[in-house]
Structure 1
Amino acid sequence: MTEPEKRSAFSLFLAWVLPVLVLGIGVFGTILLINSRTPPKRIPPKKLVPLVRFHTAQAKEHTFKISTNGTVQAAHESSIVALVPGQIEWISKKLEAGLKVHKGEVLIKIDPRDFRTQIEAAKAGVAKAQRRLAEEKKEAQLALEEWKRSKQKGEPDPLLLRTPQIAEARADLNAARNNLEQAQRNLERTQVKAPFEGIIDSRLVDLGTWVGPGTPLFRIFSTDAVEVRLPVRTEDLAWIDLPSNGPAPVERTSLPRVRLSTQFAGKEVWWEGHIVRMEGKIDPKSRMAHLIARVEEPFAKAPPLFPGLFVRARIHGRRVAEVFEIPRMAIQEERFVTVIDSENRLHRKRVEILKKNRDSVIIGSGIQAGQRLLLSFIETVVEGMKVRTTGEGGAPGETNGGEEKK
């Protein structure tokens, strides 16, 4: 074989035979390694049990309290008007907004001279009517004596005895007396008085003003009591012992108590009152009932409970036994709770909700005292699911349970 032929054969070997040989050795080595390996030890996966917080249900007596708010209004507020015409000749120094006045205190005087003249004229009318009645009676007596002397039979004619004239004179006398009483009342009305113990809200006239009947003079509100109109949901009425539709009893201890509070001059202040009645209709827009709270002697305490104040109200309702107050976060889907049993497994229970507060819920039935209620959020709760628990309400404490055992 010539030298060129040898080179060609060697090149052919490098191009085809050597790669096949290397590939075969690699495949053989791979098979050998696979067959000689030791299989790994199988370890079952651990199931992680969620750590949750809980609340222990405790039965107790509970007083239902309904929170609401409203604006204070005076129990009595009046706009006082003039009853007689005339010019104002005197105004009390107390007739200023914010000043306290007493019942019957004179606040305005209207010029009384015309009414004194009317009284004198009315007195003259009474005297004239009295004289005429006396004359008619005298004439009737003379006529009766004359008829008796004539010895006529039967009964005398009423016209002869001047019976109609006497009746007319008596009616004129009564009318004259009524005119005198009217004139005296008009004279009394020239002195405008406070109708009750109160505080002046505003003065509407000044000295020298001419007024007529019906002219507004001033506004006044009472200080003996104030009232607050409180909106309440109709479902909350079941827990309030509402008073009857009649007048409120003198003894108010039987009426539902209400505590009013507000911020005044940078401080939290409060007043005690009672629910005295409910309005006779439901608001058609809000579907709310309105209760009227009344506070007696609102100006006896410092600071006073001024009309116009916006206050928060807390109504004390019925007191019931054997109910459960639980955190609101324990409620699921509006009517269910999840109970954690003694083996730390979950069970769903339906409960009777009596009332929902801002942070808690009152339960009437469906759970028992001592049961632990789930507070933590679990995306999917499975019946009998295993959990671990922290201390009561999620406080740090010993955990119960651990990894779930198969």
Structure 2
Amino acid sequence: MLRCILPHGVSSAMVTTVVDHRRRIPCSHRVPCNGGHPAPPASRIDMLRFLSSSHAVHALIALSILASGVFLYRGIVSNPPVAETREQAAALPHVEAITLATDTFPITLSSQGTAEPAVRMQLVPGIAGRVEVVGDAFEVGASFREGDLLVAIDARDYRIAVLDARARLAEAEASLQNEEAEAKRALEDWRSLGHAGTPSDLTLRKPQLASAAASAAAAEAQVQRAELDLERTRILAPWDGRVSERKVELGQFAAANAVLGEICRQGSFEVRLPLDARQFGHLSSEQLADSDIAVSLDARIGDRTHRWQGQLVRSEDIDPTTQQLFVVARVDDPVSDQGLRLRSGQFLDAVIAASTLEDAVVIPHRALTDSGDVQLLTPDNRIERRQVTLAASNNAGVAVTSGLDAGERLIVTPLPGATDGTPVQAAIDGKAADNDGT
């Protein structure tokens, strides 16, 4: 059974009439409501129908929201919020400055190069023959001692040549002795015949004697040459060193001018170091002539930095392609301060102690601006830009020869784009400065 909740003021008879009206029941079949009272007029029925529908509820809600919005808008317009304004003081840029002083400045020149043995030699036998022995020490990278056998060539033919040369020498010496005896006999015969004066050279057989002496000397030279060739069949190490290259194998035929390998003398090394024109200007010809310029050579190997000490010994010509001048540093002690032996081909970073500047103003690298000038701090804590002349630089800083004086305050954290007179807040020598610059 359905129940209907009627709005206030609406009777069940009205609803019955509305329902009957919507069903279009003929008037003759309508039953009077409320005890036979007549039905309400049609306009009233339409009004009740509208009020009982959901559209009316929605319309009332929309009108309520609209009225509330209008009320709030008028309240905001009539009483707008006022934003609070606070005045903020402009913060000055912060810089760090140091007080300049003069000091001695060692001029060092940085370069790089590769270590090469000071003495390098190619092994050329000078004779031809089949390689009979390759020494155990004749391997690339192996070390050898003076007198060690490196390569031996088949010496049988050269031993025979020595024997043949000695036989020829004996024959020539015998011929010389015969000629000497003949010359002595000729002199005795000339005297026995009672000739007066001095006998001629032909009488004394001097030409024959000279020829025999020359033949004996030639035979002696042949013996020496044969013995030298025999000695060359055994190639011995001339000094202590290392093998840097090997080009021969056992059983290989070696020509007289063939290169069997290359060896390097152990001990001294040389490093060619390129310098540009600005760097070379710090070296004098007297220093190069006296070889008193010290050079430190470093190499990073593993977690250690090894250092070798050397001296500049000479300079070479300028390279026409790069316009660089090469100086040569010599290392006589191949053992580093960490106990590592220097090897051929080792890449090294070099620092050359060129000279020393006296009473130089030294500034940090970071104090230079991109334009090459510096920024000073005035007594009233303002920036002053200034051009300076740089003499040299090293890892510690830059030496300035003009433009700065001792006692001035240099900004080591320059402000990009700052102009003269820009006020700053400074910390001088690690301490904050007052507004008056103290």
What's the TM-score, normalizing by structure 1?
A: 0.77
Q: What is the 5 A alignment of 1:63-212? A: 63-212=106-255
**For 1:386 and 1:348, how far apart are their aligned partners in 2?**
10
Gap change, CA 1:205 and 1:189, over 3 Å in 2 = same
**For 2:370 and 2:160, how far apart are their aligned partners in 1?**
84
SS in 1 for 2:213: helix
**For 1:392 and 1:198, how far apart are their aligned partners in 2?**
60
Does residue 1:275 correspond to 2:309, yes or no?
A: no
Q: In the comparison of the two structures, how many residue pairs are matched? A: 348
CA contact (8 A) 1:335 1:352 kept: no
**For 2:360 and 2:371, how far apart are their aligned partners in 1?**
18
**For 2:427 and 2:379, how far apart are their aligned partners in 1?**
14
Candidates 348, 372, 395, aligned match of 1:311: 348
What is the match of residue 320 of structure 2? 284
Does residue 1:214 correspond to 2:261, yes or no?
A: no
Query: For residue 307 of structure 1, what is the amino acid of its counterpart?
Result: S
Offset of residue 149 of structure 1: 2.3
Candidates 354, 358, 364, aligned match of 1:321: 358
SS in 2 for 1:216: coil
**For 2:392 and 2:425, how far apart are their aligned partners in 1?**
28
Gap change, CA 1:361 and 1:107, over 3 Å in 2 = same
**For 2:287 and 2:428, how far apart are their aligned partners in 1?**
45
Greater strand content: 1
What is the match of residue 59 of structure 1? 102
Gap change, CA 1:149 and 1:244, over 3 Å in 2 = farther
**For 2:370 and 2:139, how far apart are their aligned partners in 1?**
60
SS in 1 for 2:160: helix
**For 2:135 and 2:335, how far apart are their aligned partners in 1?**
23
**For 2:387 and 2:228, how far apart are their aligned partners in 1?**
74
**For 2:367 and 2:156, how far apart are their aligned partners in 1?**
81
Q: What whole-Å deviation, never above 9, does each CA across 1:131-169 have from its counterpart, x for those lacking one?
A: 111111111122112222222344322111111111111
Q: What is the 5 A alignment of 1:201-280? A: 201-240=244-283, 255-279=292-316
Q: What is the 5 A alignment of 1:324-403? A: 324-331=361-368, 336-357=373-394, 360-375=397-412, 376-377=414-415, 379-382=417-420, 385=421, 387-392=423-428, 397-401=431-435
CA contact (8 A) 1:390 1:398 kept: yes
CA contact (8 A) 2:95 2:427 kept: no
Gap change, CA 1:389 and 1:257, over 3 Å in 2 = farther
RMSD, aligned α-carbons = 2.7
Q: What whole-Å deviation, never above 9, does each CA across 1:321-376 have from its counterpart, x for those lacking one?
A: 21122123434586643433333344454433111457832112332212112342
Q: What whole-Å deviation, never above 9, does each CA across 1:156-184 have from its counterpart, x for those lacking one?
A: 22111111111111111111111111111
CA contact (8 A) 1:132 1:169 kept: yes
Offset of residue 188 of structure 1: 0.8
CA contact (8 A) 2:287 2:293 kept: no
Offset of residue 387 of structure 1: 2.6
**For 2:366 and 2:99, how far apart are their aligned partners in 1?**
13
CA contact (8 A) 2:308 2:335 kept: no
Aligned identity (percent) is 28
**For 1:378 and 1:401, how far apart are their aligned partners in 2?**
22
What is the match of residue 35 of structure 1? none
**For 1:284 and 1:91, how far apart are their aligned partners in 2?**
44
Structure 1 residue runs without a partner (length 5+): 1-45
What is the match of residue 298 of structure 1? 334
CA contact (8 A) 1:340 1:346 kept: yes
Q: What whole-Å deviation, never above 9, does each CA across 1:13-72 have from its counterpart, x for those lacking one?
A: xxxxxxxxxxxxxxxxxxxxxxxxxxxxxxxxx998654332321211111111111112
More moved, 160-169 vs 304-313:
304-313
Gap change, CA 1:106 and 1:243, over 3 Å in 2 = farther
Gap change, CA 1:160 and 1:316, over 3 Å in 2 = same
CA contact (8 A) 1:242 1:256 kept: no
**For 1:361 and 1:298, how far apart are their aligned partners in 2?**
33
Offset of residue 302 of structure 1: 3.2
Gap change, CA 1:367 and 1:143, over 3 Å in 2 = same
**For 2:357 and 2:234, how far apart are their aligned partners in 1?**
57
Query: For residue 156 of structure 1, what is the amino acid of its counterpart?
Result: P
More moved, 306-315 vs 344-353:
344-353
Q: RCO higher in 1 or 2 (8 Å CA, sep ≥ 6)? A: 1
Q: What whole-Å deviation, never above 9, does each CA across 1:266-299 have from its counterpart, x for those lacking one?
A: 43322222222211x1122222211111212315
**For 1:207 and 1:399, how far apart are their aligned partners in 2?**
83
Structure whose alpha-carbon radius of gyration is higher: 2
Query: For residue 118 of structure 1, what is the amino acid of its counterpart?
Result: A
**For 2:344 and 2:205, how far apart are their aligned partners in 1?**
66
Query: For residue 102 of structure 1, what is the amino acid of its counterpart?
Result: R
**For 1:223 and 1:401, how far apart are their aligned partners in 2?**
68
Query: For residue 323 of structure 2, what is the amino acid of its counterpart?
Result: R
**For 2:303 and 2:244, how far apart are their aligned partners in 1?**
25
Query: For residue 435 of structure 2, what is the amino acid of its counterpart?
Result: G
CA contact (8 A) 2:379 2:436 kept: no
